[in-house]
Amino acid sequence: MWKILSNGVAVVLVLGMTGLAGCGRQAQEQAALPVITAQLTYAPQVPPPVTRSGPARVIVNLEAVEQTAELAPGVTYNFWTYNGHVPGPFIRVRVGDVVEVHLKNTSRDKTHTVDFHAVSGPGGGAPVLMANPGGEAVASFKMLQPGLYIYHCAANPVPAHIASGLYGLLLVEPEGGMEKADREFYVMQSEFYTEGPLGQPGFQPYSSAKASAETPEYVVFNGRVGSLTGEGALKAKVGDRVRIFFGNIGPNKISSFHVIGGIFERVYREGGFGTPEQGIQTTLVPAGGAVIVEFQPKVPGRYTLVDHSIFRIERGAIGYLDVSGPEAPEIYRKMK
Amino acid sequence: MSLAIRSQQFWKRGVVASAGTMTFVVVAILGSVACGQKQKEVSVQTAPSAGTASPQVQASETGYQVETVSNGGVIVGAVRWRGPVPPPRVVPVQQDAQVCGQRRVIYPVRVVGGGIADAVVWLDDITHGKAYDFPQAVLDQKDCEYVPHVLVMQPGDLTVKSSDPMPHNVHTYPTVNREANENMNALVRTITLHFGRPDIVSVKCDLHGWMQAYVVVAKNPYYAVTGAGGRFELREVPAGHYRLKVWQETLGMSEQEVDVQPGQTTRVEFVLSSKGHEAAEVH
């Protein structure tokens, strides 16, 4: 029988059987992975580093929830959230992991999904995670490339879903993990387009017109004005290696991320794990992008996180890192 | 791709292949393309584009034959409401209130003059009769609501417009037609959706959640949307015995039988309530 087959058909068979065997092997490998549920944290907290030496199947449970909450003192807004938080949870995995996402949609009238920038494939997974009102979608994705990635809703109309709060960060650690840091923080910048002007009290509806004109009323860190000030200020000690996972969802503006009083000793530009840049004062973070910055405060006191498009501090883009510890007059001293 | 081409060439050559060989080839092709493709196939099913159903499909789906109707009858009736009118739901507007207003009032049943407006009445089992005579199917988005709220159309194309200054998306939830989810904005003022098969299609906006319309794709021309007083009329009905159905978005479906005499007017009344539906007498 084989003799009458052309070479072409033989190639088909060989390649096909190889493909089938490869498929089976991949399925077996994935089935053999340990299954763990992701430890999710909310800004500014970051999950602990991945200590596994090999990949796992990581279950990530997300729930799209709409809720009205405070955007600024006395100002409320209808947020669309993952798991009731803006930004959504920080997801931490390692390269090679298979992330199994369970998205429940509690909305009664809106479809939601997730576009993971960490996913290789159409829509970053959004088409297969589309969950109708009251529905649930489940899909899995292999993490192929280490980096710090944005995720966000991509249901129509996408800009409005992003502008309403559906976004977060996913870190894919490289094999072998990252160097130890003493403090890790999750900070995400975003804009809000309210019908009322900045500071107008009361409930403020979302404004499609302002979003389209790219004229935000609020530019904030971690979902609201004042999230990183007062009781929310970040804390560290002199000498700590501080690592900030910083994301900028936009949806329109580029961030010029800067820490007043700090020099970034390492910048993993745009979230990639190439050789980090050193001695950076301000790093540009595109809308829909992220960066990892590290520095070691050597002098106690208050360090201020800003978008150095500086008028945005008046719209909410300001936070504090309070550093405690011994004075260092050899570095920083008032003379008169 | 190269595998598929090679296998086609194989069949064209007419090579004598045993069943066992064919099985191998099928397995080979499946093995080469199926691995890891399952989710993408699902995505195609859940987020397809509209406009692919063919007219041939609709003809076979409806089975309705157009013929000249001479001395047809008329069905005149009303869909009445019994009981206290269900209270409307007031929805605070959380997006684009400057255009949409501060709140929207949603009526689960729109009772006007003692009858239910925006119900759909149709002859369910009529197989032949007049040609479709519905106006062109156009659904507008105006002041953050769909106009009309309930639209009856023949199988085919639906034109969706937006008269609003802000974006909307048109998300359809059909039963047998293809789902669509299309953005509309200042640059996309009109789109066309195709519904080739009889259906009741819910239409929503995923930005302005209160926006809701229903598109009823008719399997024959004997459909009517009720107006004030719940009144409706079906004309040029061939004499015969039919099942007359009524559907309303929150009350569901009900039916009764009706006899139509040549040249005669048959009067029909449905009485619906929130506890259930009753078919009233045929006069």
User: pLDDT digit string (tens) for A100-145?
Assistant: 999 999 999 999 999 999 999 999 999 999 999 999 999 999 999 9
State residue A21's pLDDT score. Answer: 58
d(CA A242, CA A235) in angstroms, rounded, equals: 10
- Locus of tokens 């973070």: A285
State residue B55's pLDDT score. Answer: 34
State residue A26's pLDDT score. Answer: 74
Q: Which residues of B touch A206 (CB under 8 A)?
A: 94-96
State residue A182's pLDDT score. Answer: 98
Which of A6, A110, A158 minimises the CB distance to B209?
Answer: A110
* CB atoms B40 and A121 under 8 Å: yes
* CB atoms A12 and B168 under 8 Å: no
3-state secondary structure (DSSP) of residue B8: helix
Which of B6, B16, B35 minimises the CB distance to A8?
Answer: B6
Torsions phi, psi for B222 (to 5 deg): -95, 65
Q: Which residues of B touch A108 (CB under 8 A)?
A: 209
State residue A22's pLDDT score. Answer: 58
* CB atoms B35 and A22 under 8 Å: yes
Q: How confident is the model at residue A10 (pLDDT cuts 50, 70, 90)?
A: very low
Torsions phi, psi for A134 (to 5 deg): 80, 0
- Percentage of chain A lying above the pLDDT 70 cut: 93
* CB atoms B94 and A9 under 8 Å: no
State residue B166's pLDDT score. Answer: 92
User: pLDDT digit string (tens) for B134-162?
Assistant: 999 999 999 999 999 999 999 999 999 99
What does the block give as tokens for B55? Answer: 């007219």
Tell me which residues of chain B, numbers 160 to 199, contact chain A at a CB-CB cutoff of 8 Å: 165-169, 171, 173, 181-183, 185-186
Reply yes or no on whether the pLDDT at A78 is more than 70.
yes
A203-220: average pLDDT: 97
- Any A CB within 8 A of B27 CB: yes
Whether the complex's predicted ipTM is more than 0.90 is answered with no
State residue B63's pLDDT score. Answer: 84
Pairing of strands A35-37, A57-72: parallel
Pairing of strands B73-81, B265-273: parallel
Pairing of strands B240-248, B252-260: antiparallel
State residue B61's pLDDT score. Answer: 59
Tell me which residues of chain A, numbers 150 to 179, contact chain B at a CB-CB cutoff of 8 Å: 155-161
- Any B CB within 8 A of A213 CB: no
Beta bridge partners of A57: A35, A98
What does the block give as tokens for A61? Answer: 């449970």
Reply yes or no on whether the pLDDT at A326 is more than 70.
yes
Which of A111, A130, A206 minimises the CB distance to B95?
Answer: A206
Torsions phi, psi for B58 (to 5 deg): -65, -40
State residue A18's pLDDT score. Answer: 53
Torsions phi, psi for A188 (to 5 deg): -135, 130
Which of B9, B23, B30, B32 would best serve as a mutation to test chain A binding (most A beta carbons within 10 A)?
A: B32
Tell me which residues of chain A, numbers 278 to 317, contact chain B at a CB-CB cutoff of 8 Å: none
State residue A17's pLDDT score. Answer: 54
* CB atoms A20 and B92 under 8 Å: no
Cβ neighbours of A154 (radius 10 Å): 21
Which of B17, B28, B182 minimises the CB distance to A17?
Answer: B28
Reply yes or no on whether the pLDDT at A16 is more than 60.
no
List, as one string, the DSSP characters of A285-299. E-TTEEEEEEE---S
State residue B45's pLDDT score. Answer: 27
Find all residues with CB under 8 Å of B141, minimum gap 6, and list them: B147, B160, B161, B162, B163, B164, B168, B170, B184, B205, B211
* pLDDT < 50: residue spans in chain B: 1-60, 277-283
